[in-house]
Amino acid sequence: MLVNDRSSASNAFIAEAGRALLADIDALVAEVAAAIEQAEPAYPELATPEGLRQNNREHLVAILSHLAGDPDAGTEVARANGRLRAQQRIPLPVALRSYRIGARVTWERALGYATENPGDERALLRLASDVWQLVDDYSEALTLGYQEVENEMQRRDARLRDAALDALFTGGDAPRLGEYADLLRLPRQGRYLMVAATSESTAAEAIPGISETLSTLGVRSAWQLRVDCQLGIVAITDTFTPERLVQLLSERATGPAGLSTVYDSLEATPAALRQAELACTAAQCETARIVRYEQALIPVLLADATEIAEALTDRILGGVLALPDHDRGTLLDTMSAWFASDGEVAAVAETLFCHRNTVRFRLNRITDLTGRRFAAPAEAAELYLALQAYRTLRLN
């Protein structure tokens, strides 16, 4: 808050000092500009020397007018300056230092006035307090204006990045792929992997902190958060391989995730996105949370062929699915355990915490209901496909 509570004697002294400095404003502006240019050589290059001097004048006039007793002097000039410096990409600490430099020069000038015009020592102390309080007020206003623009720019950049990713995902506007890559900070040429990961809750990161983690490793990537999933394009290199990415996702993903095959042109991103989405669906049917498209082709195939999955389920598992909930779940769990245990009855019994004869009884019942024998390879394959189809359909 701007300072205006002074004793009458202090008020008169400070007002006179403010008017005296205003009378020599041109010299003060030049002195402040020179001090800033010496302390921050890049500042006048970013802001232009003329712009720096004009900005100094506006601030010094506002500050000195306040000291001189002008009730209309405020901090709007500082807030506007903060917005301008953010637009010029001048770092906030640099802009704030310029205020401290200006305050120091102004205070030295004020001391010179006080030396030439002796007065109440308490008035001099109040002058010092006022000057530095004004610096705090103006710094706060500058920071507020700066952050306003920073937030606006971040929102704009996020919208541009989302639009660029949407264009890559849909395959639109191929001639501008290089422009989109630059905007997303992806290499224009190279090898890429598409990632799709399911979110546990609405609009939540499925792979928390993945962008920052990859950036720390020197890996370029671009990510988009959707209502139910998180999508990303990752640049693969000789040192950052698909296997390394799978390991990283295994450590960070909160749910299932799927990866496409490696592709070497951003133009192929739509096809890679479809692969990643299918692999993600397959991951929800598998014990492994992270599934690569080329390593789970059967679940991926079924995820992409709903009619075939429905036919397999109805034709082969219809009898099992018609059972009451408890019986149906018990037989399906037994089938899953049998395939996961490579057909070892003892291993199935251990997994399901039951006797081996109980496992055999359940397998025989499945055979009766489906007409397929687990001991016949072709018929066992049909049972496996039907089980995978059922899982896929439940997820869809």
Q: Is the pTM of this model over 0.75?
A: no
- State the residue for tokens 């399911």: 198
Name residues whose C-beta falls within 8 Å of residue 382's C-beta, 6 or more positions apart in sequence: 312, 316, 372
Nearest CA to 183 among 163, 198, 209, 210?
163
Distance spanning both ends of the chain, measured CA to CA: 59
| AA letter at 332 | L
> How high is the mean pLDDT in each 10-residue block of the chain (396 residues)?
48 76 86 84 68 82 78 76 87 86 82 67 69 82 92 90 93 84 93 93 87 95 93 95 94 92 94 92 76 82 81 92 94 93 94 94 95 93 90 72
SS3 188: coil
pLDDT at position 219, please?
A: 96
Q: In 222-344, which residue ranges form alpha helices assigned H by DSSP?
A: 242-252, 269-283, 297-303, 306-321, 325-340
Contact between 197 and 230 under an 8 Å Cβ cutoff? The reply is: yes
Are the CB atoms for 251 and 208 separated by under 8 Å?
A: no
Cα 244 to the chain's mean position, in Å?
A: 21
In angstroms, the Cα distances linking 292 to 124, 225, 361 are 74, 20, 36
CA dist 276 and 300 (Å) reads 10
Q: At what angle do helices 49-67 and 92-116 cross, to 10 degrees?
A: 50
Q: Which residue(s) pair with 258 in the sheet? A: 196, 291
Q: Taking each helix axis from N to C terminus, what angle separates 8-23 and 121-170, rounded to the nearest 10 degrees?
A: 60
Whats the size of the chain, residue-wise?
396
SS3 231: strand
